[in-house]
Amino acid sequence: MTDLTKLEKWRSALNKCIRCGYCYDQCPIYKETGWEADSPRGKLILLYGMLSGEIEPSDYLANKMFECFHCNRCEKACSSGVPIQDVYNDARAFFIENGFDVVGTTSITDHEICARCLNCVRMCKHEARSFVDGKVVTDLLKCQSCGSCLDICPEKGITIQRGFGTNPNELLDKVDAFLKDPDNPEAKAIVFSCGYSSHPGLRHAESDDFVISREYEILVTACSGRLKSHTVLETLERGAWGVLICCCPEDECEHGGSPRVQERMKNLAKIMERIDIDPKRLQVVEVPQGNEAKFTEATKKFMEDIRAMGPLAPEPEMAGSAR
Amino acid sequence: MNAATIGKLKEIVGDDNVLDNPADLYVYGSDSSVHEALPDVVVRPRNAGQVQEIMRYANNERIPVIPRGSGSGMCGQVVPVKGGIVLDMKAMNRILEINLQDGYCRVEPGVVDDDLNKALKPHGVFYPPTPASSVVATIGGEIANNASGGRSVKYGAARDAVLAVKVVLASGELLSFGSTTRVAASGYALERLMVGSEGTLAVIVEACLRFVPIPKLRCLGSAKFNKLSEAGDAIAGIMGGGCQPSMLELIDKVAIVAVNKANNLGLPEVEAILLYEADGMAKEMIDVEIGKIEDICRKHKGFDMESSYEANERARIWAGRAKLFPSLSKYDESLASTSLADDMAVPFSKMAECADKIHEIADRHGLVMTAYGHCGAGCMHTKILMETDKEISWEHARAAVSEIYDFVRSVGGTTSAEHGIGMSKAGAFKKEKAASLELMRAIKRAFDPNNILNPGKLMDGPDDWVGETTLRYQSS
C-alpha cells in the first residue's frame, strides 16, 4: 500500500472543489484531447479518488499530473479557490518519490544526440536542467514544459513527447484544418498566441465586447519562443494571407522566449522582404495578460493590413497553395 | 465490462474514442453534485450514425447508456448509478447552420453555450438561455435540463429556445421532432418533451434553436433593503407591475457577508440587495423601464439606488453577484459548499418568505445557507455549507433539504427552476408530481421499453438521496 500521508493535507481543498468545470475552457491540455481526466477538474477528482482509496495510484494516473503547461489559468478560473498548482506539485513529488514512471509534457533529452553544449542548462529560467554524470537531465518537478530548451538546442536533441497541439507539426495540422475548411471561405490568417501570458487575455477579449472573427484562427503555442521561422513560412505556404504572433511583453515573459521570437521574426521579415513578400504579412505584438484592448487593436490593424494586401499570389510573391 | 462489448464499441467509434481505464471511469463517475458511481466504459461518438449503432447494441444487450455533456449538472443527472456506457457527447460539437433569414441555428449537442454565442455575435444575435455555467455547459445538457439563467426573466429558458431536435431512441431509430418554424400548432410537442427529460427518453444528436437580437444598450441598477420582506414586496411589485426587466436578482445578507468576507468588497451589509437590468435598442425606453423599477423599489423602502449604462460601472455594481458563487467556497476553511437544495422556484410574492424559511431551517440544523437567485423568474438558489467529513452534517442536510422542499410545495412552488432533478431532488420531485408519476413512467416505457437510458433518475430516482446513493464525500 502506497503511503499517501503527504497528500492528506489537501483533502480539505479537494473537498472544496465543487466540480463546476469552469476550468475546462482554460486548460490547453483538455481543450486538445476533450477527455475529462485531462482537465484540471478531472485531475483533482483523480487525486481525491487516490486519497479516498477508490482508485490506485498508477503510471497512467501519474502521467496525467505531469501533463501540464503550468499556465495556471485553471487556478485563476477556479470558483472554489483551490490552489491547484500547489496540489499538483505535491502530487508530482509523491509520484516521483514512489518510483512511478512519468514523462508527461516535460522536456526529455536524447543522450545519443546531445552534444553536451549545455546551452539548455544555462538558459532554463526554471533551473530544471542540470549536467549530471556526463548527461543533461531534467528535474521533472521544476520543468514548466515551456519548450524553450527545445528551441535553443542546436542538435534538436530535446523533445516534448506529447505536445498536446503545441509541437510544430501539430500546429501546422491545425493551420491546414482552418485554412482548408470548406465551411469557412472567410479563413485568411493565423494568430499564434503565447499560452502563458497573452492567450488568457485573448480568451478574455473574446468573451467580452470583442467579436471573434472567422477570418483568423488563434493557435496556442507553449512559450512563443518555441515558434520557429519555418513554421511561420510553412503557414504562409499553406495558404495564410498573414501571420500575427502575440507574445508576452519581454519583462513579463517567465520563460525567456519572448525576446527570442521577436528577434527571430525581425530577421524573418527581412528575408521575406528580400523574396518579395510584404513583411507586413508577419506582425508581432506584445499582449500583456488580460489586455483585451491591446489584442483587439492589434488584430484589427493586422486584419486591415491583410485584407488590403489580399492573398499571397503564387507568383511572384510565393509559389504554393495560396488562396 | 466484458472484452466483447469493449471490442464492439471500439469497432463502432474507433479505439481512440473508448476509455475503460479505472482512472478515467472514476472521473466520469461524478458531476457537480454530491453523488458518484462508476460507469463500465466511456464512449465518444462523432456522429449520429455512431450513436445509432451504440444504442442498437446497448438495447440488445440491455446495457445502460448515460448521455453526458460537460458534467456540470448539480443534481447527479449524469452519475451512472447502474453502471453501463457513459456517452460523452462533447466531440459532436459542430455548429451546422446559422440561418439569419429564418431566425434559427442548428447545432450538435456538444457545442458549448459560450462558443455558440461567440459564433452568433458577429451576426448581432444571441442564444438567450445562457446559464451562469455557459463557459462549460453544452447545448445538449442545457436542453436535457431545461437550463436558464439571469436573463431568462425576459428571454426565456431552453424550452423556449428549442424549435426542433433530432434524437436517437433507445432502439437506435433516428427521429426528428418539431419544426424550424416559429409556430407549429398541432400534435404532441415531442421536441419540448425532450427538454428537461435528463437523458431518460432519447439521445439528442442535433438541435434547432431560435435566437434573438443582441440589445444595443444595457442599464444595470441596484437597490438596498433593510428588510428581506420589503425586497420581496418589491420583487412582486416589479413583476406584477408591468415592468419587463432583463434581469432581476436577489442577494440576501448571508450572501453579502460571504462576498465581503471572501473578497473584501465592502458591500453594505443590509438585509437584501436587488439588482435590476433593463435592455433594448433605445435609451428612452430603457430609462422608462429603470424608472418604473426604481419607483417600485422606493415604494417598498428601497434605498441607495444607483444605475449605469457604462460597462465598468455595471461591472462594479454586478461585482457582488459575480463573486457570490466562488465566495461560498471560501466562506469558512472548515466548510465545503455542496449542491444541495440548490434550486427551486416559488411565486414572486413568496420569494422573501422562502429566503426567510431557508435561513430558519439552516439555523435550526446548524448549517450555513444563503439565498440568492433570479428572482424575476421566481428562481431561488442556495448552497449548503457544511463539514462534509462528518456524518452528522449529512443527517442535518437531509432534514434541511426535505423541509425546504416541503415549504416550496406548500406555497405553490416547484422543485427545480433550472438545475434539474437527477438524484438529489428525486424525493422532493416525486412528492410534487405524485399524481403524474405513472403517466411519466408510461411515457418513459414508450420511448425506452428496456429502461436503458439514464436509469435511476427523475421519477425513478431515490427517495432518500443520502441513504440510497453513494456520496462522493467520505464521512465518519
DSSP codes, A108-153: EE-TTT-----HHHHH-TT--EEEETTEEEE-TTT-----HHHHH-
DSSP label at residue B405: H
Task: Please report residues of B whose CB lies closer than 8 A to that of A64.
Answer: 23
Torsion-angle region of A156 (φ positive above 0: left; ψ -120 to 50: alpha; else: beta)? left
Q: B282-303 burial, b for 16+ CB within 10 Å, e for fewer?
A: eeeebbebbebbbebbeebbbe
Residue A201: pLDDT band (50, 70, 90) is low
Instruction: Report yes or no: B324 at the A interface, CB cutoff 8 Å.
Output: no
Contacts of A21 (CB under 8 A, 6+ apart): A39, A41, B32, B70, B71, B72, B133, B136
Q: Do B32 and A18 touch (CB under 8 A)?
A: yes
Res A78: pLDDT: 87
Q: A79, B26: Cβ pair inside 8 Å?
A: no
Kindly list the residues from chain A whose CB atom is less than 8 angstroms away from the CB atom of residue B325. 20, 79
Over residues B403-447, the pLDDT tens digits come to 999 999 999 999 999 999 999 999 999 999 999 999 999 999 999
Q: Which residues of B touch A211 (CB under 8 A)?
A: 121-122
Q: Which residues in chain B touch residue A100, judged by CB atoms under 8 angstroms apart?
A: none
Confidence of residue A81 (pLDDT cuts 50, 70, 90): confident
What was the pLDDT predicted at B224?
97
Interface test with B, best of A8, A10, A14, A20 (most B CBs within 10 A): A20
With an 8 Å Cβ cutoff, is A177 touching chain B?
Answer: no
CB B379 within 8 A of CB B149: no
Asked if A22's CB is within 8 angstroms of B135's CB, the reply is yes
pLDDT exceeds cutoff 80 at B16: yes
Statement: residue B252 has pLDDT above 80: yes
Q: What is the gyration radius of the CA atoms in chain B, in angstroms?
A: 22
Residues making up chain A, counted from first to last: 323
Q: Which residue has the higher pLDDT, A3 or B306?
A: B306
pLDDT recorded at residue A148: 92
Residue B329 C-alpha, separation from nearest chain A C-alpha, in angstroms: 5
Instruction: Please tell me whether residue B178 adopts helix, strand or coil conformation.
Output: strand
Residues A265, A246 contacting (CB under 8 angstroms): no
Give chain A positions within 8 Å (CB) of B472.
48
Q: Buried b vs exposed e over B361-375: b needs ≥16 C-beta within 10 Å?
A: bbeebebbbbbbbbb
Contact B474 A78 (CB under 8 A): no
Chain B residues touching A21 at Cβ < 8 A: 32, 70-72, 133, 136
Count of A-B CB contacts under 8 Å: 106
At B123, the pLDDT band (50, 70, 90 cuts) reads: very high
List strand residue ranges (DSSP E) for B321-453, in order. 336-338, 343-345, 368-369, 372-373, 379-381, 384-386
Q: Which residues of A touch B135 (CB under 8 A)?
A: 22, 24-25, 207
User: Which residue among A36, A48, A55 sits closest to B22, beta carbon to beta carbon?
Assistant: A55
Residues of B in contact with A22 (CB under 8 A): 133, 135-136
Q: With a cut of 70, say whether residue A231 has pLDDT above it.
A: yes
In angstroms, the separation between the Cα of residue B30 and the nearest Cα of chain A is 9
Length of chain B: 476
pLDDT mean across residues, chain A: 89
Chain B environment of A24 (Cβ under 8 Å): 70, 135-136
Mutation site, B38, B108, B113, B135, interface A, largest A CB count within 10 A:
B135
Which cell numbers in the block locate residue B456? 435511476
Question: Which residue ranges form the domains of chain A, and what is each CATH number?
Answer: 5-97 (1.10.1060.10), 108-159 (3.30.70.20), 168-309 (3.40.50)
The predicted model scores a pTM of 0.93
Q: Does B309 touch chain A (CB under 8 A)?
A: no
Q: What is the pLDDT of residue A190?
A: 96
Residues 6 or more apart whose CB falls under 8 angstroms from that of A143 comprise A106, A107, A126, A128, A129
Q: Which of residues 190-249 of A touch B (CB under 8 A)?
A: 206-207, 209, 211-214
Q: Higher model confidence: residue A141 or residue B258?
A: A141
A316 cis-preceded (ω within 30 degrees of 0): yes
Q: What's the pLDDT score for residue B262?
A: 77
Question: Which domains are delineated in chain B?
Answer: 94-213 (3.30.465.10), 215-420 (3.40.462.10)
Local confidence band at A319 (pLDDT 50, 70, 90 cut-offs) = very low
Q: Which residue of A has its CA nearest to B74?
A: A20
Cβ <8 Å between A20 and B32:
yes
**Contact with chain A for residue B136, Cβ under 8 A:** yes
Per the rule left: phi > 0, alpha: psi between -120 and 50, beta: everything else, A70 is left
Could you tell me if B199 and B67 are in contact, meaning their C-beta atoms sit under 8 angstroms apart?
A: yes
- Mean pLDDT, residues B31-39 taken together: 97
* Mean pLDDT over each residue of chain B, to the nearest integer: 94
B242 touches chain A (CB under 8 A): no
Going by pLDDT thresholds of 50, 70 and 90, the confidence category of residue B11 is: very high
Q: What one-letter code names the amino acid at B190?
A: L
A121 in contact with B, Cβ within 8 Å? no
- Give the pLDDT confidence score for residue A207 in this predicted structure: 47
Q: Which of B27, B46, B312, B321 to mutate to test the interface with A (most CBs of A within 10 A)?
A: B27
